[in-house]
Amino acid sequence: MDDIEKKYAGLEDPGIRDFLIAGARFYPPDAVTFTMAEQRAFYDRYCAHFRKARPEAVRTEDVSLGGVACRHYQRLGAEEAPVMIYFHGGGFVLGGLDSHDDVCAEICDGAKIQVIAVDYRLAPEHVFPAALDDGWAVLRAVAAEHGAIILGGDSAGGNLAAALALKSRDAKGPPLRGQVLIYPGLGGDMTRGSYVSQAHAPGLSARDVQYYRDVYKGGGHPYAEPLAATDYAGLPPAFLVAAGLDPLHDDCFDYVGRLQKAGVAAFVRDEPLLVHAFLRARHMSVPARQSFDAITAACASLALRGVLPI
C-alpha cells in the first residue's frame, strides 16, 4: 500500500476510496500552489481519465449563444424538451466544455431534457462578474427560444446557477422553473461549521476554497456569494446536494433554510459518505450513483413540471 492508498484507507465507501486514489495520480492535493497553466493541465488530465462515452441517444452541437461558446445536448425523441443550462465546476479557474461533457450528456439522457453547457470565462484572466455576465447572456439567448428553463451546476457552477437565479429575479429576467445545485460554494462563513470540521476533507480543503474565492474576486457581492443576499423571496424551487466530506457541506443547508423561510420550495439531499466532485465517481461508487440518479430525477421533475421530486 503506497502513501496515497494509506491516505484514503479509512473512507467507508470503497468506490469513493478508489476514486480518490485514482484522482490523486492526476491532480495533486497541493495543486493550488502551482501555476495556473499547470493547474489546468492537471485538471484536464484528471477529467479525461474519468470521462465516459456519451449515451448513444444523445447528440451534441457546439454553438454560440449570446456570444458565449456552449455545447447543446439533445436526446433523440426529446428534441423539444425543456432546457437545463449547466455551469461546470472548477473553482472559477478550471474546466470547460470537455471537463463535464459526460455529466451533461448523462443528465440529458436520463432526464430526457435538453442541456446547454456554458464555456464561461475563467479567472484570474477574467474575474467577477465575467463568468456571471456570460451566464446571463446565455440565459437571455436561451429564453428567446425556450420557455421552460432550469439552471444547474456543480461546485463553482452551482454558485453561478444560484447567482443567476438571483440576478434574473432582480432584473425581472426570464422565468425559471428551478435550480439544481450540486455541492455548490455559496460564500458561507469559513469560521464555523463544515468549513472547520471538514477543513482537510479529501478532494477539497478549506484552504482551496479560500484560494478560489480570492482568485474570483467577488467577495461580499450576493451575485458572487449568494449567502450574502438579504432577500430570497421569488426565487425558483431548488434541489441541492451536499457532500458530507466537504467544507462546502453547510452552505447547502444555510441556503435552503433561507429559501424555505422566504416561502420557496427547497430541499437538500445529504450524502454523508461522499466527497466533493463525487459526480465523477458515479460509475465507481454505489452512493455516488444513487445520488446522480436523484439529481437526474430532480432535473426532470423541475424542468418538466417546476416541482421538486419529493
Strands 149-154 vs 114-118: parallel, antiparallel or unpaired: unpaired
- Unique residue bearing C-alpha cell 465546476: 89
Instruction: Please count the other Cβ atoms lying within 10 Å of the Cβ belonging to residue 148.
Output: 21
The C-alpha cell at 113 is 431534457
Using only the alpha carbons of the chain, give its radius of gyration. Answer: 18
Instruction: Please count the other Cβ atoms lying within 10 Å of the Cβ belonging to residue 43.
Output: 20
Per annotation, catalytic residue among 109, 119, 276, 291: 276
Strand partners, 87: 118, 153
* CA atoms within 13 A of residue 83's CA, in its CB half-sphere: 23
Q: CA–CA separation, 219 vs 217, rounded Å?
A: 6
Per annotation, catalytic residue among 13, 102, 109, 246: 246
Residue in 184, 174, 148 with CA at minimum distance from that of residue 259: 184
CB neighbour list of residue 189: distance below 8 Å, 6 or more residues apart: 195
To the query of whether residue 231 is one of the catalytic residues in this protein, the response is: no
The C-alpha cell at 222 is 450576493
CB neighbour list of residue 68: distance below 8 Å, 6 or more residues apart: 118, 119, 120, 134, 137, 138
Q: CA–CA separation, 196 vs 183, rounded Å?
A: 17
To the query of whether residue 246 is one of the catalytic residues in this protein, the response is: yes
CB neighbour list of residue 235: distance below 8 Å, 6 or more residues apart: 165, 166, 169, 179, 259, 262, 264
Per annotation, catalytic residue among 99, 155, 291, 301: 155
CB neighbour list of residue 140: distance below 8 Å, 6 or more residues apart: 66, 173, 174
To the query of whether residue 64 is one of the catalytic residues in this protein, the response is: no
Catalytic residues: 155, 246, 276
